[in-house]
Structure 1
Amino acid sequence: MTTVKPWSDLLGASERLDVAPAFDELREQPLCRVQLPYGEPAWLVTRYEDAKVVLGDPRFSRAAGAGRDEPRTRLHMGSPGNLLRLDPPEHSRLRRLVAKAFTARRVEQLRPRAQQVADHLVDRMLAAGPPTDLVEDFALPLPITVICELLGVPVEDRHDFRVWSDAFLSTTRFTPEEVAEHTGRMRDYMAGLIAERRKAPQDDLLSALVEARDQHDRLSEEELLTMAEGILVAGHETTASQIPNFVYVLLTHPQALAALRADPDLIPQAVEELMRYVPLGNGAGSARYALEDVELGGVTVRAGEPVVVALQSANRDGSVYTDPATLDLERKEASHIGFGHGPHHCLGAQLARMELQVALGTLLHRLPDLRFAASEEGTVWKTGVATRAPARMPIAWDQ
């Protein structure tokens, strides 16, 4: 029997944005068996090429987890109709309904509005004077405003979204009863908005989804509700976390920060390198189940066995990246898999890229002497949720 190792024993606790040194050793070994905080044991994938196989090969299935106690880092598994829990062709059918709203061309059309929002937020920060909390005053309201306007959700309700998102991603912060309460409130809220769009359609994505449901019968009522919830949470959570993560990394890497200040044209490439470098997740991604026996990473994964991928390890694979633990804003090597890979590659990746580019460009241009308000130790990190990011990050600048 293969030994099953608890995740916490194998890698220890996640500290800030550090990648566990144990991953360096794990990538040199065959796959190992791991026990995540919840669910059945799984095979752990740590190498870049193995990760791409699991995420992109149809022999590995998300939908096969239905009815199983899926390996996971958080209590809540999400609705069975969630895009992330489906395989093609069902996954493809639902994804097509919203994919056109997130194409590179459509996202570029949103860039001026994102820039306007970012400038407005910095204007308020400048008017109030330092110090300010980068998370509350910039990182959260920027992507929330953009996704709310795109989807058709009142942005003034954003404080509720923050609690609901944290509950949805909770590992230990909320009790099971609190998770159920908050996710239930989010579902009731979205159901109310859907009812409003049925009465009075608007020029937004939610109205388009309601039309696809009511007039074209292209998705069920449950699928409509689950998709709306997913877009709202995923549409802001990653970017709202990565903005302060990226700023934190740059402020603690002054040479890279100076390079960006000297050459803003590096920002798009910097965003890609930061996506590779920053470990957003605390654990491993969603489990895939082998549909047949598959040779992977030096072992045979048997049909029916789950596999989880550690993206933070794959993005630091020394067989793919030169000096992978080094932040290199001009790196030209293989594409990162920070947005995933294969059919479940992040639907909003282009939107996130644009918002991150706008955020970094605006902060560096408008606040050229941006710094920690006191020191990096003043940053308060999230705890008890599946994503790593500052909960509060006091910053300052010269008046």
Structure 2
Amino acid sequence: MALLSPEDPIDLSVFEPGFTRDPHSVYAEFRVGRPVNRVVVQGLQGWLVTRYDDVRQALSDPSLSNDRSTASPAARSAAWLFADEAFDLQHHMLRSDPPRHTRIRRLVSPVFALRSVARLQSRIEQIAHELVDRFAERGNAELISMYAFPLPLMIIMEIMGIPPADRERLYSWSNTLSAGSSSSGEDVVAALTRMCDFFRDLLERKQDMAGQLEESESLLDILATALYQDGTLDEAELLSSAFQLLQGGHVTTLGLIANGMLALLQAPDALAELRSDPGLMNTAVDELLRFDPPMEIATVRFTTSPTRIGDVTIPGGGEPVLLALASANRDPARFDHPDALDLKRDSPGHLAFAHGAHYCLGAHLARLEARIAFEVLIQRLDDLALAVDPEALEWRPNPHLRRPATLPVTFTVRDHDKEKQHG
């Protein structure tokens, strides 16, 4: 592939239909020929950064802002990037710079600390087993809708303190928002509207209980206390944060489980290795994160001043910068044989959870959920295999979150699992 000069933006749609399914060969060409290049992504013209060292440095560059109020007028013409502003849901930590980012993150970070997350292990295991119970005897399943989607969503709803009676509604709305292009625009707007109304109503109810919130460890109670007692948050920040924590608390782990299982299903030797040596699981999760991260491109940054990345100076004035985490994680300058899945790889430093101040708040939780999700499937189901040709899988056309839309599998139930079920 012959790349154009950096003055000529490359519309990534020219690489479809294969690019969404497998962008890695295209990224490899960019890393060699034009590691920082102007591109167009679904109508957004920005600068794509593909090499590991450049992406890592840019993730911590103070001249690149997460606050979309710094975006240029041209960037704002890409409606998909600014859709949440129609609901005033952009006032959360992921769309903020210090000091707002620091203030909001400090409020909720104890809930996602390693010690807090470790207490959730038995509950995650319970939910994972219950989900497998629902399809184990069928011999087939669609792993995203039946397993990878509900597992992290059920956990984040419990962490947030969503009342049990309300969870089915949130489950339905989140399913609509996570479905990508299979959901109509009207359905997405309706789901967002109802979700905003739900959180607004729930938090108003909590206002009446403000004096009783001090001992609670749920995320919503922490946020409500910050608004109604401490004044640490305003209402827009609270509603935006509630939405972001719910969605961000499950969509990336959903992608990790989906992409990770697909990678294992396409590498039977690696799957067999993991089955025979469960002690590899922690290393395997990090390798799966490196190999095919759920977050393909990090949250878009915008230049607040001219920014030097590699050999290119990107102008200031709100130029969008797209940091390709998936490309950085396959950079041969950082990882030996990066296109090979090696579950024994010692690969610290992958960028699946980003880097710097915006390093993924839920990294500990995502790792634990993924480890348990893989363990339960591998322990209980033999002969796991894709039910369709990999080329037949449909992929979600999301510039940030890359995963298959569905993951149909076949399997046999292990003998000891049958005995337990019928015992």
> What do the CA deviations read for 1:71-99 (whole angstroms, capped 9, x no partner)?
76935443331322110111000111111
CA distance in 1, matches of 2:409, 2:280: 23
CA distance in 2, matches of 1:178, 1:38: 22
CA distance in 2, matches of 1:294, 1:16: 29
2:101 to 91, 114, 131: 91
Deviation of 1:50 (Å)? 0.6
Contact 1:33 1:43 in 2 (8 A): yes
2:174 to 162, 171, 186: 162
Residue 32 of structure 1 aligns to a residue whose secondary structure is: strand
CA shift in 2, pair 1:376/1:330, >3 Å: same
1:145 aligns with 2:150: no
CA distance in 2, matches of 1:244, 1:297: 33
Residue 395 of structure 1 aligns to a residue whose secondary structure is: strand
Alignment of 1:216-255 (within 5 A): 216-255=230-269
Deviation of 1:65 (Å)? 4.2
Deviation of 1:276 (Å)? 0.9
CA distance in 2, matches of 1:16, 1:294: 29
Letter in 2 for 1:43: W
CA shift in 2, pair 1:124/1:333, >3 Å: closer
1:129 to 106, 120, 138: 138
Alignment of 1:198-347 (within 5 A): 198-200=207-209, 203=216, 204-281=218-295, 284-304=297-317, 305-347=319-361
CA shift in 2, pair 1:164/1:275, >3 Å: same
Letter in 2 for 1:349: A
Please identify, of 222-231 and 66-75, the stretch whose mean Cα deviation from structure 2 is larger.
66-75
Greater per-residue helix proportion? 2
CA shift in 2, pair 1:370/1:178, >3 Å: closer
CA shift in 2, pair 1:294/1:391, >3 Å: closer
1:74 to 74, 80, 90: 80
Please identify, of 269-278 and 376-385, the stretch whose mean Cα deviation from structure 2 is larger.
376-385
Deviation of 1:158 (Å)? 4.5
Letter in 2 for 1:161: W
1:32 to 37, 54, 66: 37
> What do the CA deviations read for 1:281-338 (whole angstroms, capped 9, x no partner)?
56x3332223333321211122223321111111111100111111111111341111
Root-mean-square deviation (CA), in Å? 2.5
Unaligned runs of 5+ in 2: 1-5, 414-423
Letter in 1 for 2:118: E
Residue 339 of structure 2 aligns to a residue whose secondary structure is: coil
> What do the CA deviations read for 1:163-211 (whole angstroms, capped 9, x no partner)?
44337xx5x5556555433322221121122123233467422112101
Letter in 2 for 1:190: F
Letter in 2 for 1:58: P
Please identify, of 82-91 and 216-225, the stretch whose mean Cα deviation from structure 2 is larger.
82-91
CA distance in 1, matches of 2:370, 2:227: 32
CA shift in 2, pair 1:67/1:248, >3 Å: closer
2:416 is matched with: none
Letter in 2 for 1:364: I
Unaligned runs of 5+ in 1: none
Letter in 1 for 2:38: R
CA distance in 2, matches of 1:287, 1:378: 29
Letter in 2 for 1:148: M
TM-score, normalisation: structure 2: 0.85
Please identify, of 27-36 and 48-57, the stretch whose mean Cα deviation from structure 2 is larger.
27-36
TM-score, normalisation: structure 1: 0.90
Contact 1:12 1:20 in 2 (8 A): no
Contact 1:63 1:85 in 2 (8 A): yes
> What do the CA deviations read for 1:48-76 (whole angstroms, capped 9, x no partner)?
11111111121221226446354769354
Contact 1:31 1:43 in 2 (8 A): yes
Letter in 1 for 2:98: P
Letter in 2 for 1:292: S
1:189 aligns with 2:203: no
Letter in 2 for 1:74: W
CA distance in 2, matches of 1:43, 1:381: 27
1:391 aligns with 2:391: no
Residue 21 of structure 1 aligns to a residue whose secondary structure is: helix
1:364 to 363, 374, 378: 378
Contact 2:70 2:304 in 1 (8 A): no
The alignment covers a number of residue pairs equal to 391
Letter in 1 for 2:95: R
Deviation of 1:249 (Å)? 1.1
Q: Percent identity?
A: 35
Letter in 2 for 1:189: F
CA distance in 1, matches of 2:142, 2:185: 30
2:126 is matched with: 116
CA shift in 2, pair 1:51/1:358, >3 Å: same
Contact 1:239 1:352 in 2 (8 A): yes
